[in-house]
Amino acid sequence: MKEYVVFLDRATLIADLRFPEFDHTWVEHPEIPPEETAEALRRASIAITNKVPITRVVIESCHKLKLIAVAATGVNNVDLDACREHGIAVCNIRGYAEHAVPEHVFMLLLALRRNLLAWRTSLRQGAWGQAAQFCLFDHEIHDLAGSTLGLIGYGNVGEGVARLARAFAMEVLIAEHKGATTIRPGHTAFDEVLARADQISLHVPLTDATRDLIGAREFGLMKKNAVLINTARGGVVNEASLLSALKTRRIAGAGFDVLSTEPPREGNPLLDLDLPNFLLTPHVAWSSREAMQGLGDQLIDNIEAFVRGEARNRVV
């Protein structure tokens, strides 16, 4: 049987894609607007999406759809309940960013702990040329070695961050689920991680359970010298609480690669936050060329496995 494959947002993946090794028609769009998704998938048996939402309304109007292949790890843009009800399989990508995201985490950590932005500003203002001695002591610098990193979420990426942290001679704490009554071996209670960690890095999907996982209460538990890194999803952190924590120096800094709404077409207060202790990158931690090529290869592997009848990387 010939499959009809539609890639809804091909422009989000900069990778060379080989065509699947089965009889098929391949259609790709740079990026389909949400209101045109149903029409784009009208003939599709296999849909590929990175970030384009596939809602219940879309699913219920696309009667030929058999598989949604998500070109990412997170699947919060797909109505999984509707897929289950209609017998549509969903698969995702796993492990492709095991180096890319941890390296981005440490780029942010090092820049914040070594006060990179503040030093760059001082140099631009001519402070070094006016110094009385060979160096400046205007901004604090802290080592990562000997400090404690708290990990919230310990999947493939979290493990990668832990490996780098141990190479930097850091202590690593792996947080138990928030509110858990029992602590698994090798884990530390959620609140204890917040209280003990000098750096906290988030690696959880966005679900009902993780939305606003970090808010005013959690910032109140953190050390005043703590740094928060979020390369997961924007909604995991309450952005108003983050703004307050940074402006009042409740924490020492934060490095984010995500926002609650992406792209931020209506703006976002974090975009306007001009502080040396806050770094924001535009959801690119995952997007090294090496990682994207690995993602693309795995995407096609997932689709081919489905057509062969194999449940590879299956979410639904």
The two structure tokens encoding residue 164: 């780098």
Nearest to 276 by CA among 259, 297, 254, 258: 254
- Say if residue 285 is exposed, middle or buried (CB neighbours under 10 Å; 0-12, 13-18, 19+): buried
Beta strands of the chain (E only): which ranges? 3-7, 24-28, 46-49, 67-70, 89-91, 148-152, 171-174, 199-202, 227-230, 253-256, 278-280
Active-site entry in 98, 176, 233, 239: 233
177 belongs to the catalytic site: no
Nearest to 256 by CA among 287, 233, 225: 233
Could you tell me whether strands 3-7 and 67-70 are parallel, antiparallel, or unpaired per DSSP bridges? unpaired
Long-range pairs for 266-270 at CB < 8 Å and ≥24 separation? 268/239, 269/239, 269/240, 269/243, 270/239, 270/242, 270/243
Structure-token match 């001082």, residue found: 122
262 belongs to the catalytic site: yes
How large is the greatest C-alpha to C-alpha distance in the chain, in angstroms?
78
- Say if residue 311 is exposed, middle or buried (CB neighbours under 10 Å; 0-12, 13-18, 19+): exposed
The rounded distance, in Å, linking the Cα atoms of 120 and 114 is 11
Count of H-run helices and E-run strands, the chain: 10, 11
Active-site entry in 85, 262, 290, 310: 262
Buried/exposed code over 11-30 (b: 16+ C-beta within 10 A; e: otherwise): ebbebebeebeeebeebebe
Active-site entry in 283, 304, 312, 314: 283
Enter the DSSP assignment of 120. H
56 belongs to the catalytic site: no
Active site residues: 233, 262, 283
